[in-house]
Amino acid sequence: MQELEYEEIQGIILSGYVKKRFAAYSLLRIRSRAGAQSYLRWLEARLTTGDQRPEDVCHNVAITATGLRALGLGEETLATFPRELVEGMAGTAKRSEILGDTGASAPEQWLWGGPGNQVDVLLMVFAHRPDQLDHALQEHRRRQQDGLEEVYFRSTEMLPERREHFGFADGITQPQIKETGRHLTGIECLRAGEFILGYENEYGKVPFSPSVAEDPRANRLLHTNGQNGRRDLGRNGSYLVVRRIRMLLTEWRKLDVAARERVIGRRLDTGAPLGSRNETDPVVLSARDEEGEPLIPENAHVRLASPENNLGARMFRRGYSYDQGWRDDGVRDAGLLFMAWQGDPATGFIPVQRSLADQGDALNRYIRHEGSALFAVPAAREGRYLGQDLIEG
């Protein structure tokens, strides 16, 4: 099995940084190419990679297609990225329809990521203590001054027992990467290529990766990618979907415990799949009660989101709860900053979100999508941000 190149893989792909409870997400728009390039050069030296375990603060970054363009990446290279990334999460009416981004969740209503409201760069900072987070953010803001403006900022704190605002433990079915050798009982182990570019996936294939034509500079910096005349730009990178999902807590509170459990398909107290005893018991979709009714309802969230219902679609999910109190119009403003990492959005987030929309996820009545973007998560190559030498010449 291939060894992971930990020193080039951004740490957040491999770890949820569970000991760093305080996190901040800053969505930025590029105002000046030179200023943004200079900030990313500074940031590159601080990126936390898979081989590091900083005691205090971790820094990670991701860039959308508009961001890559604004930084100067050429169209010929951009065209080698997945279509979903190039077009953007809200890039076509068809995609919005497929993903259920319509009505109250339509991109026109989004706080960011919708038409005319693009985001280019996502900065993620995680800290052990709030003062460390604040200190780090002040430094970032100073460095961003000349090239970037903040579109949206959210600081979050991990809720106790991994619970989200609806009271359920989240992140139970989180796969592990086989190549890390960290195998926990009852946790599914998958090949790195499901999540990280440049490695074999569960089918023994190395998924498509963005590439550039060979030339002396590219040849010096990048590996071959198995295609004639191309060099691999994506290796050790990944793709990240971010969604701001507001949770309709007032409506949710009207449900009794049994109804809440039917919406998700798991027990509130133990986290076990309905009909099972323990949190780590497998979700058996075929299980039925004495009357022959499915134990996990047909429209339960875990059924419709499961790999079994989505041609094996896998992703690392990391939800970060936020709570903004009440909006001016009296509506409760709390929810989940949903994040999903995958090696290919077309076989990861997209089919799952499509199923949740199409097949009528019971959760849909209780949530609103209020912002979204699809990011490339670049490898951390020492001394250079994604394709820096190729962009800057």
The distance of closest approach from Cβ of residue 305 to ligand HEM in the complex, given in angstroms and rounded to an integer, is: 3
User: If phi over 0 gives left and psi between -120 and 50 gives alpha, with beta otherwise, what is residue 387?
Assistant: left
> What are 169's strand-pairing partners?
163
Q: Give whichever of 98 and 221 is closer to ligand HEM, judged by the CB atom.
A: 98
337 sits near ligand HEM (criterion: CB under 6 A): no
From residue 27, alpha-carbon distances to 57, 195, 349 in Å are: 19, 23, 20
Per the structure block, which two tokens stand in for 328? Answer: 């001016």
Considering only residues 241 through 280, tell me which ones interact with ligand HEM, judged by CB under 6 A: 243, 245, 247, 264, 266
| Cα Rg of the chain (Å, integer) | 21
> What are 29's strand-pairing partners?
149
Write the interaction track for ligand HEM spanning residues 29-58; mark x where CB under 6 A is met and - where it is not: ------------------------------
The continuous run of DSSP H or E covering 156 comes out as: strand 148-157
Cβ proximity of 13 and 136 under 8 Å: no
- Would you call 18 exposed, middle or buried from its count of C-beta atoms within 10 A (0-12, 13-18, 19+)? exposed
- The 3 state secondary structure assigned to 260-273 is HHHHHCECCCCCCE
The distance of closest approach from Cβ of residue 171 to ligand HEM in the complex, given in angstroms and rounded to an integer, is: 5
Write the interaction track for ligand HEM spanning residues 129-168; mark x where CB under 6 A is met and - where it is not: -----------------------------------x-x-x
The distance of closest approach from Cβ of residue 20 to ligand HEM in the complex, given in angstroms and rounded to an integer, is: 20
Per the structure block, which two tokens stand in for 378? Answer: 């670049």
The distance of closest approach from Cβ of residue 359 to ligand HEM in the complex, given in angstroms and rounded to an integer, is: 12
| The only residue of 238, 306, 321, 388 in contact with ligand HEM, by rule CB under 6 A | 306
**Interface residues toward ligand HEM, by CB under 6 A:** 164, 166, 168, 170-173, 243, 245, 247, 264, 266, 283, 301-302, 305-307, 317, 335-336, 338, 349, 352-353, 356, 367
